[in-house]
Amino acid sequence: MDNIYKIEVFIPEKFLNELRIAMNNTGACKYGNYDNCISYSKVKSMWRPLEGTNPYLGEIGKLCFADEIKVEAICKGEFLKDTVKAIKQVHPYEEPVINIIPLYEI
């Protein structure tokens, strides 16, 4: 049985298509005989950039509130490292939030 993971990425919506393509090209986003399989939902996010950062959005020392999307996709373990690398290449933030959650098949 392959190790399967769910990847969650928080990103500005204008990067959705570029992210989907990059992830799909690594072998992620495939489910059975389908590819480009993602889900996304709109979220409200907040953060405060600290000294030494170079934020894409926000000002150092001030809370930033922004509309983002949470992108969810399936990824086999064999593609995980390349997929995370591809996400980081596309993502505009210096510290992108990438959650990797193991899934179990029943």
- Average pLDDT over all residues of the chain: 95
Domain ranges within the chain, ordered by starting residue: 4-103
What CATH architecture applies to the domain 4-103?
2-Layer Sandwich (3.30)
The model's pTM is: 0.92
Whether the Cβ atoms of residue 18 and residue 24 lie closer than 8 Å to each other: no
Q: Locate 102 and state its tokens.
A: 């193991």
Return d(Cα 75, Cα 48) in angstroms, integer.
31
Return d(Cα 30, Cα 23) in angstroms, integer.
10
Candidate from 50-54, 74-78, 102-106 with smallest mean pLDDT: 102-106
Whether the Cβ atoms of residue 75 and residue 7 lie closer than 8 Å to each other: yes
Q: Is the dihedral of CA 38, 41, 47, 51 positive or negative?
A: positive
